Amino acid sequence: MLVLLTLLATLTMTVPATASPPFILSWGSIGTEPGQFRGPNGIAVDASGNIYVTDSGNQRIQKFTNNGEFLAQWGSSGLADGHFTSPLGIAIDPSTDRERHAGKH
């Protein structure tokens, strides 16, 4: 089964409730390598248009350009600083452009 991260127009425009948002872009597959996912859950976009995705199955956060190009990843399984246990959600603080995440701790 192929897992695709799909970015819909609703991130950048308003679509009437009766209309389906147009398809824009997708990327990713199942796996553990950079740009691959094992349970993408949360998504956020920063002021520069970079996209952050919580990848619960890989216990990490991945960062991409708005065209889906992999930029960075961080996190691993555990309870110490910099570790995650099933990160679920993410938000970007507009005053600092830093990410905030939610998951099991």
Task: Give the β-pairing of 60-64 and 5-8.
Answer: unpaired
At 3-42, the pLDDT tens digits run: 344 444 444 456 566 778 788 888 899 999 999 999 998 9
Partnered with residue 13 across adjacent β-strands are none
pLDDT computed for residue 2 by the predictor:
37
pLDDT band at 101 (very low <50, low <70, confident <90, very high): low
Residue 51 half-sphere exposure toward CB, CA atoms < 13 A: 23
Residue 47, classified by CB atoms within 10 Å of its CB into exposed (0-12), middle (13-18) or buried (19+), is: exposed
Task: Please say if the pLDDT value at position 62 is more than 50.
Answer: yes
pLDDT one-digit tens code per residue, 37-60: 999 989 999 989 999 999 999 999
Q: What is the mean pLDDT of the chain?
A: 79
**pLDDT (0 to 100) of residue 5:** 47
Task: Supply the CATH classification number for the domain 5-104.
Answer: 2.40.10
Q: Could you state, in order of their start, the residue ranges of all structural domains in the chain?
A: 5-104
pTM: 0.73
